[in-house]
Structure 1
Amino acid sequence: MKDKDHLSELASNAGLKAPAKYAAVHKNECVYSTDTDKSPDGLYINLKSFESFGKEALHFDTNAKEAIYLHVKRVLVPIKQEDASDTAGIIGDVGGTTTDINQKTKNIGAKDTSGKEQFVDTKDQNAIVFKQKKTCDEVSEYEVYCPSLNIRMPLEGAPKTVASICKAVIDHSGFNYSSDEFVWKDYVSESKYAQYLIQVEAPPIIHYDNLKCDRCGATKNLWLNLSDGYIGCGRKNYDSGGCADGEEGAAIQHYNETGGVYPLAVKIGTISANTGDVYSYASDEDCLVVDPLLAEHLAHFGIDVKTITKTEKTMAQLEIEKNENHDWSEMGTGNSKVAHGPGLVGLHNLGNTCYMNSAVQVLASVPELATYFLENHYNIATKVPESTKPCEDVLLQFSKIVKALTTDSVVEQHREIVRRYRKACDEMGIDYAEPEQLKNIAVKPSMLKYAIGRDNSRFATGDQQDAEEFFSHLLNALVDMSTEVKRRTKLTFKLKSLFFFRYRQYIVCESLNKMTYNDNEMHMLCLPLLLYSQTEQLDPSVELNLQDCLTNWEREQEIDYLDGGKHHIGVITNALLTLPQYLVIKVDRFYYSMDGTSKKIVNPVAIPPEGLTLETQGEKDHKGYTVECNTREAKKAKHHIDPDFLQSLMAMGFSEKLCRKAVDHEGSKNLDACVNWILSNMDNVSESSASDRDSGSIAANAAVLMDLGYTLEQANVAAEKFGNDVAAAVDWLATDEACTRPLAKQTGRYRLSGVISHIGDNINTGHYVCHIEKHGQWYTYNDAKVLTCDTAPTKNGYLFLFRRYDNEINIV
């Protein structure tokens, strides 16, 4: 029997069929690693499950028995310059990343009259085209692989039935890891001024010949005021724009000089039959807007949109170009260089995903976290619940991204691709020129985004999101999955102990002679950069010190609050109770002004050279005050645990802590129920003193003990140890001298290790980059690009990561 016959028989017995049009075909990326068809060993697509695997991940395939794979490998082939044609990068009407419109794709089995394989060119007819010389082609190679029969053969030699299935997979659009198009887009709504826009009588007739700025004479980036026909340069951006003489753009100056009654202007070069960039200079909008009557408003000046062709890039397209090409390392000092190596791998922007890329890079830079996922990647990958698809598993997808970012696997693959391309150049007698595809070492976080988006719909779209919100969501999701992580790895996962800390908020009311407090647990300090009264008048160039912002967070502030349905004046203060190993600080750059519009505080932020110093606070003097815990759990009824019942449980060999938690859940009447609870939960309950207790519950139990006359520190110690058993806590407080020892203040010293910066005027626009310190060197991570930088660029910082350096803890 020939190999083709064996393969045909195996395919028939396995019931292999071509994928339906809407079938989930994972053909672009390995589900267990970041390998793609561009990796040195390509991808192996299982023709039964339609899941893809890198060569080193084939052992993860649960459907590998008697499997047949389509092996796809895309290689770079040099082009001799005399044969090179002009190619073009395109940016579509809705935005997108630069793409080679002449990229070739093999049409398997199709031949032209000369016997050469046909190639299909794809082109966006509505795109702006920028030509450049092409240096290489991307050519896909295909073969069929069956490990159980030890058969490899070129696709053209495969049995007809197998070849037809392979062709269907090749032609399939593939699984879409987004519920929305991955495009760069902004939140643009209709201007409230559009419907009743004032337009002057006897307007000037606009001719497209020799258009120029009325003030400086520039001929590009011109904006037409839709009320009076004035033409002027666009406003200044953070790195461009304005008039040719360096002054603010004439268009917005004209708006101000005419009393602010002509708010709408359109960018002339973006006008087409369907659209055009319209900006509202009105203070209550101050953003790009939609003008549904744009064609009518332009006709007022003799402009027929049906005859106009777009000649300039839209604002969205310009933002794409700036974000991709801008040297963000200039936020630091000195010269930057491209950096490659373990821990220096970028993340491709999938379209408005700079927020995700920055957050993931910073989180993956935490050594304890990265080490845990690296050492346990195999168990995390092989023990995905049967009810969960691998591409939907957040733990697996995060683990594979961490592995790609922090090891040399992707770097070595890139070096191998470069080596092969250089060899091909030498064989063809062509001087090596670095292709665009090889300039950056980066991976696509498509499956991670997809998995996270299934849990939170905000992150499933192609819209820009808040980097802090994504960071918090991902960190909390990983913490919430600690039990699942432990199930897979058989190791304790104490991510929470790295980031989370407790703080207390006091409210003291002298008129009521009352002190109310509330304990909270969180992973991030949110610090106001300014007092609200300062936001409107502070010079935006004034530098703000982060240590001062921290001091302001802790200082006393007078507030108006409700108590018993009546308004009272109180003093509120914040106090840290514990200190984390990693301190995350978000500075509140965004706020709403008095007119209700969203604004950004652009003041540069400075960090003291020595870093930050944090202190926990001792007990606040509450003598003479009525003390009340305002935590929800304080209102729950407390119960007494029968000591004999507790001893009966402990006599079975269970720890006191497990027994107390069992009684908390099941009561002290049913011994069997308590035993069953312990057996079901003993793997999930930490044997550490109280690290897994809910902070709110601790505060509630402490409040009960304080009512009995014990100090705050004494009450907290006992509450952490005994939980709801107030009687046992009182006995212990009365007999154990150690428990009455005052809790010493802690001082923590923190050094900056990462910062996420936001560039732009609005939280929903702009661009995120991050800077991370590794082994004494700072690096800029701008999506796929990784560059060196001399110092920590903090002035545009939005989210800061500090590492405590006066003590160390481990994640396991």
Structure 2
Amino acid sequence: MDLITKLASGCRVATAHDVVINSECVFTFHTPYTTERGIVVNLSSFVGSTDELAFTCCEDVATDPKLFVRIVKKRVEKDASAMDTEKQGPETEPSKIGVGVEGGFQAEQDKYETSSSYSIVAIDKDGAVVADLPYSDTTKNEFPMNVAQSADSIIHHAGLSVKQDLTAWELDDEPKPVSKYAESLPFEDNGIKVSPNPSDWKCEKSGATDNLWLNLSDGFIGGGRKNWDGSGGSNGALDHFVETGEKYPLVVKLGTITEDVSTADCYSYAKDEDGPVKIPNLKELLEKRGIMVAGLQKTVKSTAELEVELNATYAFDAIVEKGSHLVPVAGPGLQGLQNLGNSCYMNSVAQLLFSGTMPELSSRYGPTGDGIGSNPLLQISPQKASDDLLCQASKLASALTSGVFCGPVPDSIEMSDSSANDPKYRLAPRMFKHCVGHDHVDFRTGQQQDAAQYLQYLLEKLDRAELGGVDRLKGKDGSPALVTSHLFSYKTETRLVCEADGMVKYKESPPETMLSLRIPMSKATLPDSDSPDIKRQKSEETSDENKEKKQVPTVSFGACIDAWSAITCVDDYRWKHLPNNSVSNATSKLSLVNFPRYLLVQMQRYEIGDDWQPKKIEVKIDVPEQLSLEKIKASGPQDGEKLVPEDTDEDSSPAVASPTVDEGALSQLMDMGFTINGCKRALLAVGGSNVEAAMAWVFEHNMDPDFNDPLPEGSGASSTSSDVDEGVVMSLVENLGCFTPDQVRAAVKHCGGAADRAADWLFSHMDDLDGAIAALENSAAASASGGPDAKSAVPLEDGEGKYTLVGLISHIGKNTGSGHYVAHLKKDEKWVIYNDEKVALSQDPPIQHAYMYLFRRNDTLGSPHLDY
């Protein structure tokens, strides 16, 4: 205790606005559940880590030990005798569609409870624990006051992971309204004062001591009402509202009140509000009951936090489990990922990139032989680690490929298995999701998104992070490493022939990372109705059905490739080599300039219906597992061809600034099923942001031969712009009032000109704004020296155009922004299905139904690229 007392002066108390990482290690996926030592959280920086990495979480490099609070949690199965006998027993078949209700499915909290233990530890610079004393309600008075206050503030803090989930939750929900009853709320001067000691609080009806709500009119303390799953309180507060004639509608949850009263959990029982509300005069109402908010700390979870927790832990597909015959697997490269709420699109993409299918990314981001601490991507200040994409990508890849967090292999894939939801083995990629999507209009929400769009956005983010972190990434011989997108990059060549004089022009596109293929339904075939399979299908149908199953047409993958590279006619093409820049019809043909190491292919399975709503094309794609694309390799100018003079191909008119594509508008158009290139082309044609006008342009031009072609460089296709609207800058400076023009200008430039995102970025980096802006400038400088220009100067990979199918992402649902995504990857010549947390050997991979395909060039097998 003497050592802890000596070090107590360095402790801080976490406020509601502090970033507290109390649910997992910032560098690894270790949580309070994964080991008997749990995690330790620094009492000064509030950063959580394992014991071995703890000293790096300090704010300085001093030699004195530092203080931490150790958090250890275990999931314990409840004693059968302690369970409510009126609730469904483990052997009882449910009779209702409901969770936690009589006759319904058992809720997780009905079967298990969490056992938590804490201690105050001192760790020296070598990672050795030099003091470890138990911390609890009975021992806290033995510690210095600021140590106890600091520990309590960390233990009861919502934490970064919950805050990130809450942010996504709130983005999908309406903002809380100001209660109309707050200003003239009746107040009963009955002398009731609320005790400052939380142990004195209890429901005045049931005697319950948790989930307590204070009536702001008469001082009555009652239990909260039940949640939808049967958990919650005793309904005492709501019953009291009814019993008093519904005159006193406003209540506040005890334990959620802090100095910042705006963060308190307030609710209105009034029938015309009946929901969470804001109460501007809450501080004054509390003072009337003797509650002084100065110094108060949050000690319980708010309703929103409980809803997020409930939504995250409930296994939605436990009700009806399909595929129970699949054989589950676990181990390195066979690690499942928890669904954070509509995050299957992200999980599928993460498995495709980081679970070992591509050895280059495993080498760059995965674990090293010298341990987690030696990975250069993790050599970053712990306070910045949660927002550093290179660090979080390495954290995710290491977990997926190491197998450290895999649980015991269950007997079946059913989610009802006892270990399926054990937090000890659950891997929740919240920090990675936040790093990638926090500044994107769609990916920061908790809504379902398009996996193809997310994959392309992730590659762009990784490129920028890698260019900005060149000191942490080195290729062979210490040279700058290649960016991740280089693995997938290819160029296309367009051969245009002028019908007026037969002269030929070749155009080469900027590098792309995903080949998007239209499905030519005119080439579709139906299965032979006389085939044995069809006859057997008919015979197996019962007489009650009295109808045949719908036959789904099939299109070969080769037909999709042929349609992509087919010769098309272009009407009224303007040729600058003709007299007076005359127009003439032309023919156009696409080819691949190079064959990348990995080929990503997206199938355009969605089209716009007559009602302007996206609909799925019901078709099977016959995709071979061995593929040759040699026939579409670009050959360049041929002997005997007359080429259009290059000098006449240049526009001598002064350059006009192109509009910038609005990120939100682009997402809306892509949700309708069109390709990213087509959507960018449409938006640029109508000014960059008008979705309705862009849709009209799409309907008029979606059959143009160049509709899906990549846009030329400098066309404004990027969602960011180097130019900054000074009107936006000065407006933000004036309205925000606490930032300089230079700071605002940097934020606006970083956020592509979007004022709301720039303001959010500024406030989220206030703790080290100058450092964040310096990082932006360093990234921009790196991009200038090794960015897009340098990337385009690096020769793209090429080889023989023969590929093997190694991965696919499938989608179930009406459109890409809803439904469910699942990944299938080939591991040791066997297909494995990755359905969020469920990983199993696949008996019948849905190759014909996939949305995206990943092919690997055959001549690269066994020879990974050394610059990764």
TM-score, structure 2 as length reference: 0.55
Q: 1:555 aligns with which of 544, 566, 569?
A: 566
Match of 1:353 in 2: 343
Residue identity opposite 2:44 in structure 1: K
Tell me if the contact between 1:507 and 1:573 (Cα under 8 Å) persists in the aligned partners: yes
Alpha carbons of structure 1 residues 100 and 68: separation in structure 2 relative to 1, 3 Å? farther
Tell me if the contact between 1:183 and 1:352 (Cα under 8 Å) persists in the aligned partners: no
Q: Structure 2 CA distance, aligned partners of 1:56 and 1:100? A: 41
Q: Structure 2 CA distance, aligned partners of 1:592 and 1:166? A: 56
Q: Secondary structure at the match of 1:626?
A: coil
Q: 2:49 aligns with which of 38, 53, 60?
A: 53
Q: 1:493 aligns with which of 463, 481, 498?
A: 481
Q: How far off is 1:163 after superposition?
A: 2.2
Match of 1:763 in 2: 816
Q: How far off is 1:496 after superposition?
A: 3.9
Match of 2:432 in 1: 448
Q: How far off is 1:770 after superposition?
A: 0.6
Q: How far off is 1:782 after superposition?
A: 0.8
Q: Structure 2 CA distance, aligned partners of 1:634 and 1:583? A: 37
Is residue 606 of structure 1 aligned with residue 659 of structure 2? Answer: no
Match of 2:865 in 1: 810
Tell me if the contact between 1:185 and 1:463 (Cα under 8 Å) persists in the aligned partners: yes
Tell me if the contact between 2:557 and 2:622 (Cα under 8 Å) persists in the aligned partners: yes
Alpha carbons of structure 1 residues 132 and 692: separation in structure 2 relative to 1, 3 Å? closer
Matches within 5 A, 1:376-775: 378-384=374-380, 389-411=384-406, 414=407, 434-438=418-422, 441-491=425-475, 492-494=480-482, 495-511=484-500, 513-520=502-509, 521-530=511-520, 541-560=552-571, 562-563=573-574, 568-615=584-631, 616-621=633-638, 623-628=641-646, 695=792, 747-775=800-828
Q: Structure 2 CA distance, aligned partners of 1:683 and 1:370? A: 24
Tell me if the contact between 2:517 and 2:601 (Cα under 8 Å) persists in the aligned partners: yes
Q: 2:837 aligns with which of 784, 790, 797?
A: 784
Tell me if the contact between 2:42 and 2:66 (Cα under 8 Å) persists in the aligned partners: yes
Q: Deviations over 1:769-811 (max 9, x none)?
A: 1111111111111111111113432122011101111234414
Q: Deviations over 1:170-212 (max 9, x none)?
A: 222222125733499799xxxxxxxxxxxxxxxxxxxxxxxxx
Residue identity opposite 1:470 in structure 2: Y
Q: Structure 2 CA distance, aligned partners of 1:630 and 1:27? A: 64
Q: How far off is 1:80 after superposition?
A: 3.0
Q: Secondary structure at the match of 2:328?
A: coil
Q: Secondary structure at the match of 1:397?
A: helix
Q: Secondary structure at the match of 1:131?
A: coil
Q: Structure 2 CA distance, aligned partners of 1:596 and 1:534? A: 24
Match of 1:344 in 2: 334
Q: Secondary structure at the match of 2:506?
A: strand
Q: How far off is 1:55 after superposition?
A: 3.3
Q: Structure 1 CA distance, aligned partners of 2:845 and 2:43? A: 49
Match of 2:8 in 1: 11
Q: How far off is 1:599 after superposition?
A: 1.6
Q: Structure 1 CA distance, aligned partners of 2:652 and 2:451? A: 35
Q: Secondary structure at the match of 2:859?
A: coil
Tell me if the contact between 1:777 and 1:790 (Cα under 8 Å) persists in the aligned partners: no
Residue identity opposite 1:810 in structure 2: H
Q: Secondary structure at the match of 1:437?
A: coil
Residue identity opposite 2:132 in structure 1: R
Residue identity opposite 2:595 in structure 1: L
Is residue 180 of structure 1 aligned with residue 170 of structure 2? Answer: no
Residue identity opposite 1:563 in structure 2: R
Q: Structure 2 CA distance, aligned partners of 1:86 and 1:361? A: 43
Q: How far off is 1:581 after superposition?
A: 0.8
Match of 1:297 in 2: none
Alpha carbons of structure 1 residues 614 and 584: separation in structure 2 relative to 1, 3 Å? farther
Match of 1:80 in 2: 79
How many equivalent residue pairs?
Answer: 534
Q: Structure 1 CA distance, aligned partners of 2:55 and 2:441? A: 33
Q: Deviations over 1:332-382 (max 9, x none)?
A: xxx411111111111111111111010111011312211221256634344
Q: Deviations over 1:520-542 (max 9, x none)?
A: 2111111111269999xxx9711
Match of 2:413 in 1: none
Q: How far off is 1:457 after superposition?
A: 3.3
Q: How far off is 1:22 after superposition?
A: 2.3
Q: Structure 2 CA distance, aligned partners of 1:354 and 1:614? A: 35
Q: Structure 1 CA distance, aligned partners of 2:425 and 2:557? A: 34
Match of 2:156 in 1: 171
Is residue 369 of structure 1 aligned with residue 366 of structure 2? Answer: no
Alpha carbons of structure 1 residues 778 and 7: separation in structure 2 relative to 1, 3 Å? same
Q: Secondary structure at the match of 1:141?
A: strand
Q: Deviations over 1:288-341 (max 9, x none)?
A: xxxxxxxxxxxxxxxxxxxxxxxxxxxxx9xx97756666759xxxx4111111
Q: Structure 1 CA distance, aligned partners of 2:394 and 2:553? A: 42
Tell me if the contact between 2:488 and 2:599 (Cα under 8 Å) persists in the aligned partners: yes
Tell me if the contact between 1:498 and 1:811 (Cα under 8 Å) persists in the aligned partners: no
Q: Secondary structure at the match of 1:10?
A: helix
Q: Secondary structure at the match of 1:150?
A: strand
Q: Secondary structure at the match of 1:180?
A: helix
Q: Any stretches of 5+ residues in structure 1 without a counterpart? A: 90-97, 102-124, 188-272, 276-316, 419-431, 638-679, 699-719, 722-742
Residue identity opposite 2:481 in structure 1: F
Q: Deviations over 1:423-449 (max 9, x none)?
A: xxxxxxxxx983552399441110011
Tell me if the contact between 1:543 and 1:606 (Cα under 8 Å) persists in the aligned partners: yes
Q: Secondary structure at the match of 2:332?
A: coil
Q: Structure 1 CA distance, aligned partners of 2:608 and 2:417? A: 51
Tell me if the contact between 1:329 and 1:789 (Cα under 8 Å) persists in the aligned partners: no
Residue identity opposite 1:366 in structure 2: M
Q: Deviations over 1:623-669 (max 9, x none)?
A: 234255999899999xxxxxxxxxxxxxxxxxxxxxxxxxxxxxxxx
Residue identity opposite 2:80 in structure 1: Q
Q: How far off is 1:580 after superposition?
A: 0.7
Structure 1 vs Structure 2: percent identity of aligned residues?
24
Q: Any stretches of 5+ residues in structure 2 without a counterpart? A: 89-96, 175-270, 274-310, 411-415, 526-549, 576-580, 656-779
Residue identity opposite 2:120 in structure 1: V
Alpha carbons of structure 1 residues 439 and 445: separation in structure 2 relative to 1, 3 Å? closer
Q: How far off is 1:601 after superposition?
A: 1.3
Q: How far off is 1:754 after superposition?
A: 0.7
Match of 2:132 in 1: 152
Match of 2:106 in 1: 131
TM-score, structure 1 as length reference: 0.58
Q: How far off is 1:606 after superposition?
A: 2.1
Match of 2:846 in 1: 793
Q: Structure 1 CA distance, aligned partners of 2:499 and 2:43? A: 75
Alpha carbons of structure 1 residues 789 and 185: separation in structure 2 relative to 1, 3 Å? farther
Q: Structure 2 CA distance, aligned partners of 1:326 and 1:11? A: 53
Q: Deviations over 1:16-54 (max 9, x none)?
A: 232112221111121111111111131111111111112
Alpha carbons of structure 1 residues 540 and 761: separation in structure 2 relative to 1, 3 Å? farther
Tell me if the contact between 2:520 and 2:563 (Cα under 8 Å) persists in the aligned partners: no
Tell me if the contact between 1:345 and 1:441 (Cα under 8 Å) persists in the aligned partners: no
Q: How far off is 1:132 after superposition?
A: 5.7
Residue identity opposite 1:181 in structure 2: A
Q: How far off is 1:473 after superposition?
A: 1.3
Matches within 5 A, 1:280-299: none
Q: CA RMSD in A?
A: 4.3
Q: Deviations over 1:508-530 (max 9, x none)?
A: 22126443332121111111112
Larger strand proportion of the pair:
1
